[in-house]
Homo-oligomer: A and B are copies of this chain.
Amino acid sequence: MKLSANEEYGLRCLVRLGYEGEGGSLTIPEISHAEGVSPALAAKILRVLRKAGFVKAARGKEGGYALARPPEAIVIGEVMEVLGGRLFESSFCDTHSGQAAICTRSVDCSVRSLWRAVQVAVDQVLSKATLRDLLQNEEEMNSWVRAISDRSGLRLLQ
């Protein structure tokens, strides 16, 4: 259970674009330099974000990338899913075709229940966060984490 490079870099590119504010845009070389990723890789990941509708691209001179929606309309959970897929894709137990609520083998079921619980816990955090939240400065970021912490009962701050 690791973050993929796609997720790490992709989210950073989005945040970087977000910093440019309303209508601001950046070129691939600018983004790649700011985030310390190679231009080729940044281009590859930005293409994924474009196809998913999070950013838009302008070609030609004076072109570049910009957010396709306001930051508060970009839910991090959706971004993460596009960049890295779902945690639990039911790959193992699909002899039982994923539809059945109850597996015949209880081993499968208890393990799947666990994965589901983890998936839900992750979603609770990621579906509450928007790009807007990530654009706030340090203090505001902390207060956001604290808010989720309070709402959910999780102790997210150490």
Contact = CB atoms under 8 A, between A and B. Distances in A.
8 contacts: A3-B115, A8-B92, A8-B111, A102-B138, A118-B122, A118-B125, A120-B156, A151-B153
Contacts of A91: 8
Nearest to A11: B111
A1 B84 contact: yes
Contacts of A124: 121, 154-155
Q: Copies per complex? A: 2
A85 interface: yes
Contact of A107 (B3, B7, B19, B110): B19
Interface string A44-81: 00000000000000000000000000000000100010
A91 B111 CA distance: 29
B2 A85 contact: yes
B142 A113 contact: yes
A156 B121 CA distance: 7
B154 A87 contact: no
Contact of A125 (B4, B84, B121): B121
Those 6 A-B pairs whose CB atoms lie nearest each other, nearest first: A153-B153, A110-B134, A121-B121, A117-B156, A152-B153, A121-B125
Given A153-B153, A154-B152, A113 B141 contact: yes
